[in-house]
């Protein structure tokens, strides 16, 4: 498997599927009242990087694989003047079904996590509310946003908020149900628009700016099927849909809000061994 975008802005392992990285064929988001109001960047002190979505003043939803390391995480957002705002992570909750030892295409659990910041981001930011939505149908066009790289291995291109458009291709059943999307023209056959290193946990959006609804989060990506570039992006983008899991997300949000802000804690999976069989961790190294 090619190293993907999952946890860090690092490399993947094979075109078959890997945690999602940065946006391929994306456009930088420059509207100060646009995506930067709710799309954030998550980084660890070990160099891992993902994206996430602000759903309340101090709450973020992202991919579970973005928070597997036993380390400290910080969240970064862009204010109206393009300056970086930094917040620490007070607490986090990973979906209990997520198995950090299972590779993406055989993941039996739900790649979702919720984290609480140590302080609200402030009035310049507008959380994207969680709403129950209809499952997107094959052929529907959606928007992908994230802070990842523009091409596999180009770490210097990360940390800029970009967006692109994808077309839903349908569902894929593994241990759970994922939505699959790809470039509307290249259809994953040739390298096209899609998630790449650093985009894991980034939003998949329905609708137009100002009226976005959150359909899901980026989980992993793959390379183009007709190319052997060794990159795990530019082909298909795998998406964790949110509507089936809104109950779990909302319950965790309530629990995280109830935590005493003077005490740092986390609700997470047991520590994972850092060995060669753990692809989620490997992608972040």
Q: Is residue 91 part of a domain?
A: yes
Q: Is residue 183 part of a domain?
A: no
Is residue 106 classed exposed, middle or buried when 0-12, 13-18 and 19+ CB atoms within 10 A define those classes? exposed
Q: Is residue 94 part of a domain?
A: yes
pLDDT band (50, 70, 90) for residue 264: low
At 160 the pLDDT is 86
Counting DSSP H helices and E strands in the chain, the numbers are 2, 14
Q: Is residue 204 part of a domain?
A: no
What Cα–Cα distance (Å) separates residue 176 from each residue in 109, 229, 238? Answer: 6, 29, 12
State the residue range of the domain holding 52.
36-127+245-269
At 138 the pLDDT is 94
| Residue 52, token pair as written in the block | 């996430």
Q: Give 77-115 pLDDT, tens digit per residue.
A: 999 988 999 999 999 999 999 998 888 878 889 999 999
Is residue 194 within 8 Å of residue 236, measured between CB atoms?
Answer: yes
CA–CA separation, 30 and 39 (whole Å): 13
CATH of the domain at 78: 2.40.10.10
Query: Residue holding tokens 């753990």?
Result: 278
Q: Is residue 101 part of a domain?
A: yes
Is residue 171 within 8 Å of residue 195, measured between CB atoms?
Answer: no
Q: Is residue 42 part of a domain?
A: yes
Number of domains present in the structure of the chain: 1
| Residue 211, token pair as written in the block | 């009226």
Is residue 217 within 8 Å of residue 245, measured between CB atoms?
Answer: no
At 46 the pLDDT is 84
At 33 the pLDDT is 78
Q: Is residue 144 part of a domain?
A: no
CA–CA separation, 268 and 54 (whole Å): 20
């Amino acid at each position: 498997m090619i190293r993907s975008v999952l946890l860090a802005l690092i490399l993947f392992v094979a075109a078959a599927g890997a945690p999602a990285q940065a946006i391929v064929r994306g456009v930088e988001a420059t509207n100060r009242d646009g995506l930067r109001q709710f799309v954030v960047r998550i980084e660890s002190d070990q160099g891992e990087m993902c994206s996430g979505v602000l759903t309340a003043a101090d709450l973020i939803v992202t991919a579970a694989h973005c928070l597997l390391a036993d380390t400290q995480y910080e969240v970064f957002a862009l204010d109206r003047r393009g300056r970086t705002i930094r917040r620490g992570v007070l607490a986090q909750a990973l979906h209990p079904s997520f198995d950090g030892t299972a590779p993406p295409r055989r993941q039996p659990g739900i790649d979702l996590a919720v984290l609480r910041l140590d302080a609200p981001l402030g009035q310049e930011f507008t959380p994207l509310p969680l709403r129950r939505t209809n499952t997107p149908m094959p052929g529907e066009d959606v928007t992908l946003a994230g802070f990842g790289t523009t091409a596999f291995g180009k770490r210097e291109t990360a940390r800029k908020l970009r967006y692109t458009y994808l077309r839903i291709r349908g569902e894929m059943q593994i241990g759970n149900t994922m939505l699959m999307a790809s470039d509307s023209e290249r259809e994953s056959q040739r390298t096209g628009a899609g998630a790449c290193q650093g985009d894991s946990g980034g939003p998949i959006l329905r609708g137009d700016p100002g009226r976005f609804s959150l359909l899901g989060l980026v989980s992993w990506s793959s390379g183009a099927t007709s190319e052997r570039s060794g990159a795990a992006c530019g082909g298909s983008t795998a998406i964790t849909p949110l509507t089936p899991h809104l109950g779990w997300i909302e319950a965790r949000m309530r629990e995280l809000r109830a935590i005493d802000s003077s005490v740092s804690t986390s609700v997470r999976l047991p520590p994972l061994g850092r060995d060669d069989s753990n692809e989620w961790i490997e992608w972040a190294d």
